[in-house]
Structure 1
């Protein structure tokens, strides 16, 4: 099988690839597009870095191409849509720069604590000034790590080695996995803010994380806190950070990433309390070798063994099979979405039972859809049917599947039981008619809820007036109830109410519902 390497990569990686039986390596960097097409004509694999732009035109010239690997994280130089339409797997190497970024975080942490840069500049300027650069040691301090993915956990290990107390927040990491890395999980971000002497962020840039550290959050932190960001620019509100530093609330910040790069607004970077570098987190010789070696390994696994890692797209599937599975796949994905939003975290164990007609279907395919729903909104990686099971395993989530011809009172049933903090929660669904998914069981209560739009799930005492009170609160917000279902186990005990709403519900309104008499819990789920 021919693998074309069209960009300059580390020679170590190239040598490994050439040594693999069954792989023919065509190393041809710096080619013009027309020349590149000739080399692609019989290639089954393609490894690129940043120089090669894998356009739809290039893909069309590669009739035998089966997979593309980007030696790096971003795939913006690859036309992923065009590759997907052809059934070509596109993969990247997100783990290759993990250690490099973790070490850069530690370098900034130490340099910030010991005033390395200003002391160096002072000495080179001809001064011998020791008094102005009194530092603070890491040992005995508490560091709060927001985001416990690959990089966050590597930072945690290193901070623990420095004698720091490591406090982490990531609702999608199991306590067992955190404990393995000597991390104590904070109950919420407010606890992390209040206890931490240092805070470092390692989360992806999403709508939820944009500006997540701003004026309100700084107010909850210790006076003299120090911040580090080697993740993505924009997670920390730069204007708010500059003001917090000027007021003395934040003692200093070390930044490798910025809202715009290079920074257009110099207000923050020009402050003497700010240590900054030009996005160097992955800029080590070892990281570049690592991503190239990883690229060689994953393309070999894909071509020779059919093992897929770090895929960022979904290959084409048979149209007839896709049509038959579509309603069940939609139901499975909805059950995953419901669980993660209902529990507010990813569970440690997921047990899936396919019953009745569902037991005859492709369980592996449906489980991948369920995991896409479970992980899709909480991980930095792009989740799809190929990488969802791999990422679940990486996060310490144990997934089991079972089938049975019996499905309670339904022709088909998919039941999902998740364990969080030792407690088991179940949600089950079925198909109504030909294709309509329904949630029919929530923690032992029988319901008939439509998994669409905005869903409000209320557990409350079975008392008169509850629906009237909730309806009044929603009416005051101008939110209409589109559908409603109830369930209870016995009269006068606890009951469940599930409402489909015509519009979003903000946090103050949700708090008001939770404060309504007889309400025990209220959860918002958005599909």
Structure 2
């Protein structure tokens, strides 16, 4: 890899960090480090122009004031995961790479999950508390073994996979729900695939390891908590909000499940009158998942190494944003990137199976533009439904890790001056979707499989295929109206040869699982999928 030829780079460490970071920086002769802890954003803004790189944790704030003064800054390294204290959008506009260290806490968070699982099934916190208060509850606090029990893992990302390996070592049988991980990966990990409902019914312990997004918020709620086995347990060391806390409190009070353990909450710290905190069968920790000495050392080494490799070799790892785009045609490329991301996300959701292959077809004038960032945007769109850390920098790495093949094809355009086509394969079927720009900014879907149409890819969309017969649209509209779901836009496409129709229903609020099932049962409806963009 080509090395950048400069005299030296200056790095400002503006946070307390394990000494391993300074050791890594010292191993690179072209990197000079200065440590200044306790700066506020105004103080940081006064000195940042002298530095090429900045290291922060959850403080200080790296806001617009700081970034406007950062005439020399090339990279911001967050020693940890969250970047709420960094104005990432403005950093991107300034051409500053933002990176974090999501892998540094994988082992420690997985171990914390296992620790909470033992604490739950053996009543360890209750035993400690009762004994210290003078009670001998030996007969009252009878626990359960984990050996030969079923662990259900929701989300097979880095942490979920490590939890699975450790649970298998304890003699547990592991099942998992992850619609975006391939069957081959399940086989490699010796994990049995389940739907979410099947997992909840079968598991003795359920643990959540998904990102928090619109698709996973309140993923566990009153309706599916009722599916869990009596005597089962629920753990959340991922993100607050994946489990509906009020619904869980109700299930615990009524004894529908035996217990639950949280390391994360919607509001942190939770209020003292939080309903879960009053329950004896609920245990919790104050977001300690990444709080080990080893994890902090690992994170320190990782962020220092990443910054040095980027400064010296432009090697990017764990990028949160994307490097600055070429100035020529930049607005147009950005518009096609937005379109590509929407098409990728929609195609993956419509496939309703793990993606195995992905191809992007560039047709017409778009071929004259820089295609790499557009292809990255498509990959991000495909992956973003199940990866909270996916971005335009790490999408290719994550695509390879999931065993998804990728190719880009340039073609002549027959129907439009310029367009993009995205095709995904998986589960023995494929979805092909095409889009274009109206003007230079308006995104449009112009084709879905065999159906030509013109639709706007935004918000909640019900994508329906039906037999082309009178009354179908009216029945769907009436049903949505009865359930208080407003239709903001409706677009239709026809395949007269097969007497089939496709329709895109943009709705103001998502349809529930029950409403979707009602729609699918309507006469002449062939298929219906709800997409979130």
Same fold (TM over 0.5): yes
Contact between 2:461 and 2:507, CA under 8 Å: does it hold in 1?
A: no
1:75 deviates by 1.8
In the other structure, the counterpart of 1:447 is 452
Contact between 1:438 and 1:448, CA under 8 Å: does it hold in 2?
A: no
Match of 1:457 among 442, 463, 480: 463
1:5 deviates by 1.7
Residue 385 in structure 1 maps to residue 374 in structure 2: no
Q: 1:93 and 1:345 mapped to 2: Cα distance?
A: 30
Contact between 1:2 and 1:44, CA under 8 Å: does it hold in 2?
A: yes
SS of residue in 2 equivalent to 1:320: coil
SS of residue in 2 equivalent to 1:459: strand
Contact between 1:334 and 1:451, CA under 8 Å: does it hold in 2?
A: no
Contact between 2:63 and 2:86, CA under 8 Å: does it hold in 1?
A: yes
In the other structure, the counterpart of 1:498 is 503
Structure 2 unaligned regions, length at least 5:
1-8
1:181-208 deviation line (CA, Å, top 9, x unaligned) = 2222212x21111111111112233444
Q: 1:402 and 1:254 mapped to 2: Cα distance?
A: 49
Q: 1:134 and 1:322 mapped to 2: Cα distance?
A: 65
Q: 1:361 to 1:41 in 2, by over 3 A?
A: closer
Q: 2:349 and 2:163 mapped to 1: Cα distance?
A: 28
Match of 1:512 among 512, 515, 518: 518
Q: 1:461 to 1:239 in 2, by over 3 A?
A: closer
Comparing 211-220 with 97-106, greater Cα deviation is found at 211-220
Contact between 1:4 and 1:39, CA under 8 Å: does it hold in 2?
A: no
Residue 342 in structure 1 maps to residue 350 in structure 2: yes
Q: 1:246 to 1:57 in 2, by over 3 A?
A: closer
SS of residue in 2 equivalent to 1:53: coil
Residue 428 in structure 1 maps to residue 465 in structure 2: no
Contact between 2:231 and 2:258, CA under 8 Å: does it hold in 1?
A: yes
Contact between 2:240 and 2:264, CA under 8 Å: does it hold in 1?
A: yes
Contact between 1:452 and 1:526, CA under 8 Å: does it hold in 2?
A: no
Comparing 369-378 with 117-126, greater Cα deviation is found at 117-126
Q: 1:522 to 1:57 in 2, by over 3 A?
A: closer
In the other structure, the counterpart of 1:27 is 35
Q: 1:270 and 1:469 mapped to 2: Cα distance?
A: 48
Comparing 225-234 with 307-316, greater Cα deviation is found at 307-316
SS of residue in 2 equivalent to 1:191: helix
Comparing 224-233 with 306-315, greater Cα deviation is found at 306-315
1:447 deviates by 0.8
Match of 2:377 among 369, 377, 399: 369
In the other structure, the counterpart of 2:263 is 256
In the other structure, the counterpart of 1:172 is 180
In the other structure, the counterpart of 1:416 is 422
1:127-170 deviation line (CA, Å, top 9, x unaligned) = 66543332211111111112222212211111121121211112
Q: 2:62 and 2:487 mapped to 1: Cα distance?
A: 48
Contact between 1:211 and 1:234, CA under 8 Å: does it hold in 2?
A: yes
Match of 2:317 among 309, 312, 320: 309
1:326 deviates by 4.4
SS of residue in 2 equivalent to 1:368: helix
User: What CA RMSD, in Å, does the superposition of the two structures yield over aligned residues?
Assistant: 3.0
1:293 deviates by 1.0
Q: 1:408 to 1:179 in 2, by over 3 A?
A: farther
Comparing 430-439 with 232-241, greater Cα deviation is found at 430-439
- Within 5 Å, which residues of 2 pair with 1:126-525? 130-187=138-195, 189-263=196-270, 264-265=272-273, 267-344=275-352, 347-381=355-389, 383-404=390-411, 406-431=412-437, 437-443=443-449, 445-453=450-458, 455-470=461-476, 472-473=478-479, 479=486, 482-488=489-495, 490=497, 493=498, 495-501=500-506, 503-504=508-509, 506-507=511-512, 508-525=514-531
SS of residue in 2 equivalent to 1:427: strand
1:227-249 deviation line (CA, Å, top 9, x unaligned) = 11212234333333333223221
Contact between 2:341 and 2:378, CA under 8 Å: does it hold in 1?
A: yes
In the other structure, the counterpart of 2:115 is 107
In the other structure, the counterpart of 2:67 is 59
Contact between 1:160 and 1:182, CA under 8 Å: does it hold in 2?
A: no
1:289-328 deviation line (CA, Å, top 9, x unaligned) = 1111110121122211212232333444344322333453
Q: 1:520 and 1:31 mapped to 2: Cα distance?
A: 61
Q: 1:326 and 1:33 mapped to 2: Cα distance?
A: 30
Q: 1:30 to 1:389 in 2, by over 3 A?
A: same
Q: 1:398 to 1:297 in 2, by over 3 A?
A: farther
1:275 deviates by 2.4
Q: 1:471 to 1:245 in 2, by over 3 A?
A: closer
1:31 deviates by 5.4
Aligned length: 521
SS of residue in 2 equivalent to 1:334: helix
1:335 deviates by 1.3
SS of residue in 1 equivalent to 2:25: helix
Q: 1:451 to 1:177 in 2, by over 3 A?
A: farther
Residue 119 in structure 1 maps to residue 124 in structure 2: no
